[in-house]
């Protein structure tokens, strides 16, 4: 199939139409079937909202946001750990015709400021726990008197100038209804951040249509996700909702289906096991480290999985041995408990591949419904068709982003004639099952989180003794990868590995720290145009 020698791998599913709706319209479609069901419940405090309460609260929040002067298309930064109020705030922002940029709540003040400035956010929704840091970033990055809304998750005093989240709901009730016609399915809905193939994090422009497309593409490809309207899924919700996996892999699609999400603000073995033991969980969304935890932690018992239809893993490569360990420990067969691997990226809303055969544990499986795929040899530029031969995965479909926010150069480098160049290297076998082998892009993935080396390199270059620096990922049995720095010192300087590691500590989020160590070298290898030759450095590790 295709022109110009394009060899396109298509999915084997029957084509389906994507309705032209916005996320709020799509999500509340079935509300009258389950108004009294619990939509979200805090796994720590038990604070909860039914579907009717969630819909009404989101609607009142939307009215309040409009009343504060926010205009169609304005960007609101959501800086929250997973709380019941996270999906409600998110849906309120979209209901108002505003765009939600989701920010990692564990970010440092500098990291938060950078995203606020890059996105041009006009308002913030955060929580008491982190509000004082977020306020510092807001003062440095937002126009004065921008709305600063705080969800009261602890007794801590709110910073001066904050608006309590619950006021948005109580006051919103009395305000005029929002004008629904101000929203269009092709409008931007969210702006999560991703570093893409190179450089600093960039805003990924995803429309309502992109998000809904991926929900339908994924659901229609996977029998293990689908449920009838009279069955309610119960889902531990620990994957961060600011990341596309939590957002459009879990929260939105499962709320569309009326599931109960039990939120956990952070992953700790005790709280997670507590949720598993107290609830009859039916679906689990995880990353490889959580699959490893199931297999390795003595307190995780087989009985917790009695009602679980499937465990999904995504965001980083899943080791076949970790899957086998779970089956051995629980004395289960793959037919009794499915462990499915997904592959995708923020730029594709995110899901593009799913492995469901349950025999090829380390495969990412096949393209999901409506997702077209090419494998392109990065040197010759030709499409690869021979089983076993590797190439870069290119993706096309209604789930592919509109581009990077205010960054035409990066957009042009990443999108070519509608094809998204993923920067991931893979091959397919005789059954057209795909296997990721390597990453062409510089991105490092720590526990499934993005660590853009450019960020760490920029920090390292501010060290007074450092002349030049480069960062690469090195394999780590727990985290998948960890960042390692190569440093060139200025003449007559003597600095230790620990000095460099401590210098970085505190300037970046904890998961970005240089756990892979530091090597001192004479020169950073670069090509003629000054690009760091990361492969050379990886070979030195």
* Residue 450 near ligand AYL by CB under 6 A: yes
Number of H helices, E strands in the chain: 16, 28
* Residue 194 near ligand AYL by CB under 6 A: yes
Report which of 412, 414, 408, 364 is spatially closest to residue 394, judged by C-alpha positions.
414
227, burial (CB in 10 Å: exposed 0-12, middle 13-18, buried 19+): middle
Q: Roughly what angle, to the nearest 10 degrees, separates helices 51-67 and 165-172? A: 90
> What does each C-alpha distance from 449 to 242, 272, 288, 509 come to in angstroms?
11, 19, 12, 11
Min CB(337)–ligand AYL separation in Å: 17
Which residues from 325-344 bind ligand AYL, rule CB under 6 A?
341-344
* Residue 346 near ligand AYL by CB under 6 A: yes
Residue window 361-390: x/- pattern of binding to ligand AYL, with contact defined by CB under 6 A? ---x--------------------------
Residue 78 sits at φ, ψ, to 5 deg, of -105, 115
Q: Contact with ligand AYL (CB under 6 A): which of 18, 93, 190, 436? A: 436
* Residue 424 near ligand AYL by CB under 6 A: yes
Q: Contact with ligand AYL (CB under 6 A): which of 43, 159, 317, 452? A: 317
First-residue to last-residue Cα distance in the chain:
42
* Residue 350 near ligand AYL by CB under 6 A: yes
Min CB(340)–ligand AYL separation in Å: 8
Min CB(205)–ligand AYL separation in Å: 14
* Residue 201 near ligand AYL by CB under 6 A: no
Cα 483 off chain centre by: 19
Residue nearest to ligand AYL (CB): 342
* Joined tokens for residue 302: 């087989």
Compute the CA torsion angle 454, 459, 462, 468 (nearest 10 deg).
-40
Residue in the block written with tokens 């009730």: 173
User: CB of 146 within 8 A of CB of 122?
Assistant: yes
CA distance 195 to 461: 19
Give the number of residues in contact with ligand AYL, rule: CB under 6 A. 25
Residue window 256-295: x/- pattern of binding to ligand AYL, with contact defined by CB under 6 A? ----------------------------------------
* Residue 51 near ligand AYL by CB under 6 A: no
Beta strand 123-127 pairing with 148-151: parallel
Min CB(50)–ligand AYL separation in Å: 28
- Part in contact with ligand AYL (CB under 6 A); list of ranges 160-168, 274-282, 309-317, 525-533: 309-317
Min CB(251)–ligand AYL separation in Å: 12
* Residue 147 near ligand AYL by CB under 6 A: no
Min CB(201)–ligand AYL separation in Å: 10
Nearer to ligand AYL, 28 or 245 (CB): 245
Q: Contact with ligand AYL (CB under 6 A): which of 115, 248, 263, 422? A: 422
Rg (CA), the chain: 23
* Residue 428 near ligand AYL by CB under 6 A: no
CA distance 419 to 266: 35
> What does each C-alpha distance from 403 to 117, 279, 413, 419 come to in angstroms?
18, 40, 10, 11
Residues that bind ligand AYL (CB under 6 A): 194, 244-245, 249, 312, 314-317, 341-346, 350-351, 364, 422-424, 436, 439, 445, 450
């Amino acid at each position: 199939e295709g022109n110009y020698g394009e060899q396109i791998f298509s999915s084997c599913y029957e084509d389906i139409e994507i309705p032209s709706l916005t996320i709020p319209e799509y999500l509340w479609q079935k509300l009258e079937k389950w108004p009294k069901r619990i939509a979200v419940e805090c796994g720590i405090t038990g604070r909860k909202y039914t579907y009717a309460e969630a819909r009404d609260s989101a609607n009142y929040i939307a009215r309040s946001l409009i009343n504060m002067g926010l205009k169609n298309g304005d960007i609101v930064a959501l800086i929250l750990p997973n709380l019941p109020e996270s999906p409600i705030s998110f849906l309120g922002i979209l209901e108002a015709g505003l765009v939600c940029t989701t920010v990692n709540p564990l970010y440092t003040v500098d990291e938060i400021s950078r995203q606020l400035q890059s996105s041009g956010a006009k308002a913030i929704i955060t929580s008491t726990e982190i509000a004082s840091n977020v306020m510092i970033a807001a003062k440095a990055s937002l126009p004065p008197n921008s709305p600063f809304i705080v969800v009261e998750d602890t007794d801590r005093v709110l910073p001066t100038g904050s608006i309590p989240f619950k006021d948005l709901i109580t006051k919103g009730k009395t305000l005029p209804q929002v004008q629904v016609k101000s929203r269009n399915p092709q409008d931007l809905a969210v702006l999560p951040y991703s570093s893409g193939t190179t450089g600093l994090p960039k805003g990924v422009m995803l429309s309502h249509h992109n998000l809904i497309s991926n929900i339908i593409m994924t659901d229609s490809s996977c029998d293990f996700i689908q449920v009838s309207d009279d069955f309610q899924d119960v889902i531990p919700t620990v994957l961060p909702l600011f990341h596309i996996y939590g957002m459009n892999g879990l929260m939105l699609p499962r709320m569309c289906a009326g599931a109960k999400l039990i939120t956990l603000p952070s992953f700790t073995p005790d709280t997670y096991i507590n949720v598993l033991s107290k609830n009859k969980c039916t679906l689990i969304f995880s990353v490889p480290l959580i699959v490893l935890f199931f297999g390795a932690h003595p307190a995780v018992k087989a009985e917790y999985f009695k009602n679980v239809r499937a465990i999904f893993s995504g965001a980083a490569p899943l080791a076949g041995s970790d899957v086998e360990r779970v089956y051995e420990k629980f004395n289960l067969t793959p037919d009794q408990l499915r462990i499915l691997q997904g592959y995708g990226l923020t730029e594709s809303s995110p899901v593009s591949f799913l492995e469901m055969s349950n025999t090829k544990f380390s495969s990412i499986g096949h393209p999901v419904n409506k997702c077209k795929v090419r494998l392109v040899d990065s040197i010759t530029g030709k499409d690869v068709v021979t089983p076993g031969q590797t190439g870069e995965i290119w993706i096309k479909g209604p789930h592919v982003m509109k581009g990077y926010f205010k960054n035409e150069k990066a957009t042009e480098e990443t999108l070519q004639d509608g094809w998204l160049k993923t920067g991931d290297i893979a091959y397919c076998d005789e059954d057209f099952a795909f296997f990721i082998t390597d990453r062409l892009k510089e991105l490092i993935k720590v526990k499934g989180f993005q660590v853009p080396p450019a960020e760490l390199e920029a920090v390292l270059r501010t060290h007074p003794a450092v002349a030049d620096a480069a960062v690469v990922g090195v394999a780590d049995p727990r985290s998948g990868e960890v960042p390692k720095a190569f440093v060139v010192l200025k003449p007559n300087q003597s600095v230790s590995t620990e000095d460099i590691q401590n210098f970085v500590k505190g300037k970046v989020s904890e998961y970005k720290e240089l756990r892979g160590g530091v090597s001192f070298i004479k020169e950073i290898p670069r090509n003629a145009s000054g690009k760091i030759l990361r492969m050379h450095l990886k070979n030195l590790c």
